[in-house]
A and B are shown apart, each in its own frame.
Chain A
Amino acid sequence: MILTALLGRSLARHRTLLVALTGLLAGFQVVLVLIARNLQRQGLYSQMAALMPPFIQEALGGALVASFGGTVALGFFHPIVMLSLSCAAIYLASEPAGEVEDGLVDLVVARPVPRHLIVARSAIVFAGGTALIVAVMFVANRGAVRWLTPGSGTALPPERLAMVATNLLAVVWCFGAASLAVAARLRRRAATAGTIALAAVFLYLLQFAAAAWNPLRPFARFSPFHYYEAMRTLMGAVAPARDIALLISVAGVLIAVAYASYTHRDL
């Protein structure tokens, strides 16, 4: 009953963000499918593949990059998509710090509300909210491929795309959990969300730079994006189950840290 009330309130407070981001990212899937259909119909993929040097193709994920399937799946590994989803999770998870900042926690925790429910609420909201967005993206993608491009190109196996979507979600949850762990200690929501969002951008750039510059490679292991090889997964070259398990484990540890911090802190 209490958790339901807390969840309802939190979802209501964040509904604009959730609805807007879901609409944008699902719409982006449809737009990508339409672009892929156009490129396919005009026969431009073969020209693109011919123009692209093999090492660039390889760096971008192989032949798939200049194909109908690759373009259609781009909405799951485009940097703007990854970072906007990560930032959404970071913001949703920073709610405990915001409640301390606004004094709302005085109203809620002065009632018989166990502290761990506040953390559980935020964990469910960021994980469930982003899962819902990714699920809608997936449905929009499959729906658009099915209804807008009949016979246009070789569709990727849905289970591979589902695996990529799950891997993306695991990356996003890592950042959400980090934000929750920090929010469980801090009193300022903007500071919490801002710090972790900057860290997410830095870690993305680190992974990106490490792909091109060997000395950075050992450090790329610290970036959750390192454990997200979307193109290779789509091509069937890797099975990301271990990466997903690792990312979810890290998220779990960070949520446990958030529980411990929030239980012992002064509000």
Chain B
Amino acid sequence: MPDAIRAESLTKYYGPVVALESLNLAVARGEVYGFLGPNGSGKTTTIRILLDLVRATSGLAFVDGLDCRAASLQVRERVGYLPAEMPIYRELTGDGYLRFLSALQAGPVDASFLRKLLLRFDVSDVDLRRRLDHLSHGMKRKFGIIQALMGRPPLLILDEPTSGLDPLMIEAFAETVHGLKIEGRTTIFLSSHVLSEVERLCDRVGIVRRGRLVRETSIADLRRETPRRLRVFFDGPAPEPPVSLAAAVRRQSKHWDLEWQGPLGGVLEAIREFPVADVEIEPFKLEDYVLTVYSDRPGSPA
């Protein structure tokens, strides 16, 4: 079975500006894939090539094995897209907006599913009757998410989906993604700067920088590979660390700072015999990892 998304040596130049340089990418069906990168790194260009909104200078992109350029219409029948900048027809009501976009879909929109989405994202009948230019940014965003989801496409491409949403709606979005993940029939390609959201929702992440995919990994692998930071406090002055921890510990007057890679059981076992008052474990943060990759420092995992 072909990948939901595959990019092969995808390259795009805008005049002398290199937007993408030999980008290779594969997203499996049913996967939630986080597509990360600093501003201007080529994320949106990649998405727009997948949707045949822009044409690659060279290389190929496929959705469900279909060439995004040659079989553009069939590809777009399979995709629900939420752009980062939410374009609206100002003069339309929310209801008119959804009805117009439904008319452009390949098949009819399931009314009961649409009602469920409206309910989940707390869009009332009054909101549906209001003109879009009278709505708040967050409310417009909700309509954006709904229009992308309403056709139940097998592939969702969401660019900054929760930008401007309140915490309740962010939760509603996360629940929706989880629901789709459990159903297993939808692949989600998610571009976001909200790394906590990516960490929570995605199975894998790809990090693109200056038009190249510089790292691709699963969140589970990242958790395993990324050193964890611990702070161990003692009743009284901090003792000498045991040999098993010596390399990982920076001893302070009343505590140790520890950087540990791998399961934490070994650390807890090693400190059992010490008069430990408290242990602080810094939770895994995708942000730390991603910032290292973004920052382009020597030694970053490019």
Asked if B249 CB lies within 8 Å of chain A CBs, one says no
CB-CB under 8 A for A112 and B73, given A5-B104, A266-B53: yes
The reply to whether A5 and B100 contact each other, CB–CB distance below 8 Å, is yes
In the complex, A41 Cα to B53 Cα: how many Å?
64
Interface string of A216-245 (1 = CB under 8 A from B): 000000000000000000000000000000
A110 engages B79 (CB within 8 Å): yes
Determine which of A1, A2, A9, A103 lies in contact with B87 in the assembled complex, contact meaning CB atoms within 8 Å. Answer: A103
Q: How many A-B residue pairs have CB under 8 A?
A: 64
The answer on a CB contact under 8 Å between B91 and A110 is no
The reply to whether B83 and A266 contact each other, CB–CB distance below 8 Å, is no
Whether the pair A9, B89 counts as a contact (CB closer than 8 A) is yes
Q: 0/1 per residue, B231-259, Cβ < 8 Å to A?
A: 00000000000000000000000000000
User: CB of B101 within 8 A of chain A?
Assistant: yes
CA–CA, A17 and B74, complex, Å: 36
Please tell me if A74 contacts chain B, counting CB pairs below 8 Å: no
A110 near B51 (CB under 8 angstroms)?
yes
Which B residues touch A6, using CB under 8 A? 104
Is B121 part of the binding interface, using a Cβ–Cβ cutoff of 8 Å?
A: no
Chain B, range 69-85, C-beta contacts under 8 Å to A: 73-74, 76-77, 79, 81, 83, 85
Report whether B89 and A109 are in contact in the complex, using a CB–CB cutoff of 8 Å: no
Q: In this assembly, does B194 line the interface, its C-beta being within 8 Å of a C-beta of chain A?
A: no
Task: Tell me the A3-22 residues at the B interface (CB within 8 Å).
Answer: 4-6, 9, 12-13
Q: Does B9 contact A (CB under 8 A)?
A: no
- With the chains together, A114 CA to B74 CA distance in Å? 11
Compute how far the CA of A6 lies from the CA of B89 in the bound complex, rounded to whole angstroms: 12
Question: Nearest-CB distance from A108 to chain B (Å)?
Answer: 6
Q: Mark contacts of B38-63 with chain A using CB atoms, 8 A cut-off: 1 yes-contact digit, 0 otherwise.
A: 00000000001001111100000000
Whether A266 contacts B87 by the Cβ 8 Å rule is: no
Say yes or no: is A107 at the interface (Cβ < 8 Å to chain B): yes
Q: Which residue of B55, B74, B76, B103 contacts A110 across the interface (Cβ within 8 Å)?
A: B76
Interface size, chain B (Cβ < 8 Å): 24
Tell whether, in the assembled complex, residue B83 and residue A103 are in contact, meaning their CB atoms are under 8 Å apart: yes
Give a binary string over A233-267; 1 marks a CB under 8 Å from any B CB, 0 the rest: 00000000000000000000000000000001011
Report how many residues on chain A are interfacial, defined by Cβ distance under 8 Å. 24
Give Cα distance in the complex from A5 to B85, angstroms: 23
Report whether B89 and A105 are in contact in the complex, using a CB–CB cutoff of 8 Å. no
Q: How many angstroms between the C-alpha atoms of A111 and B74 in the bound complex? A: 10
The closest CB in chain A to the CB of B14 belongs to: A266
Q: List, in ascending order, chain B residues with CB within 8 A of A106's CB.
A: 48, 51, 53, 81, 83, 87
B162 at the interface (CB under 8 A from A): no
**Residues of chain A contacted by B267 (CB below 8 angstroms):** none
Binary contact track A146-160/B, C-beta < 8 Å → 1, others 0: 000000000000000
Kindly provide the distance from the CB of B80 to the nearest chain A CB, expressed in whole angstroms: 9
Known: A9-B100, A110-B53. 8 other contacts (CB 8 A): A2-B103, A12-B91, A103-B87, A105-B53, A106-B53, A108-B104, A264-B55, A266-B55
Interface, chain A (partner B; CB < 8 A): 1-2, 4-6, 9, 12-13, 102-114, 264, 266-267
In the assembled complex, 6 residue pairs joining A and B whose CB atoms fall closer than 8 Å, in A order, are A5-B100, A6-B104, A9-B89, A106-B51, A107-B81, A108-B104
